[in-house]
Amino acid sequence: MIDLNAILRRPLVTEKSTRLREDNRYVIEVNPTASKGQIREAIESRFKVSVLSVHTIRGMGKFRRRFGPIGGYQPEWKKAIVRIKEGQKITWEEVA
């Protein structure tokens, strides 16, 4: 099992995630091996909020060229869209 502190990585701030925040949905980058239950438990324990739903999206690592034949891989990633109870908030200062 993953340590709960290692599950949440950072908030993802985009135009879409800012719009989702109005519906009490927050977008957070998480550990790619974390399950929905572990993500729910980590958010509830760290921020003291009630999680209603967790949706996850995975991105696979890709090979990217650097300079000619030199290349490398981008790491795989996972983000979670978390819906919390009405009236509760997550402040990003608590994430860091």
In this prediction, residue 69 carries a pLDDT of 82
Indicate the burial class of 51 (C-beta count within 10 angstroms; 0-12, 13-18, 19 or more).
buried
pLDDT in tens, the chain (96 residues): 678 889 999 999 999 999 999 999 999 999 999 999 999 999 999 999 999 999 999 999 888 888 878 888 889 999 999 999 999 999 876 554
How far is CA 53 from each of CA 14, 19, 40, 64, 80, rounded to the nearest angstrom? 20, 17, 8, 34, 10
In this prediction, residue 87 carries a pLDDT of 93
CATH for the stretch 4-64+72-91: 3.30.70.330
List the chain domain ranges: 4-64+72-91
pTM more than 0.95: no
